[in-house]
Structure 1
């Protein structure tokens, strides 16, 4: 599932999601995409606020070399052959 804050890039992100599903990308086609990308106003949804916090922690880790917040969520990422591929939340 992909959730985004409302923005002017909604059309381009929707198009990119269709491309990933229909054409694929470096790792192949997306086969288990649960829904089309969802756009929410972050002021109205705690879920999008959480996504903002996750994104911020990733930004700080890889752009500013600060892993203070990333350390909290790093165990939730999927690893394959020593490479990080994406956030995975098991229930």
Structure 2
């Protein structure tokens, strides 16, 4: 799956380059970084689906931004 994602691309049709690491699909019990990704995903889910910003407030300032535009967080409008 990871190999196809890198070669074929994603929904926007672009292939991906310059991975710092390869995508890994595993149980969050196996890695603290996977646990962190799960927590970030949960915070975003609670914020956008349930309008609960209690967890999102912790990570709000952690997304890359330039000139008031956030990068790395895609919000479908």
- Report if aligned partners of 2:46, 2:53 keep a CA contact under 8 Å in 1: yes
C-alpha RMSD of the superposition:
2.5
Structure with bigger strand share is 1
Q: Size of the alignment, in residue pairs?
A: 70
**Relative CO higher for 1 or 2, CA cutoff 8 Å, sep ≥ 6?**
1
- CA change 1:30–1:82 in 2 (3 A) is farther
Q: Which runs of 4+ in 1 moved over 4 A?
A: none
Name stretches of at least 5 consecutive residues in structure 1 with no aligned partner: 1-10
Name stretches of at least 5 consecutive residues in structure 2 with no aligned partner: none
1:41 CA drift (Å): 1.9
TM superposition score normalised by structure 1: 0.59
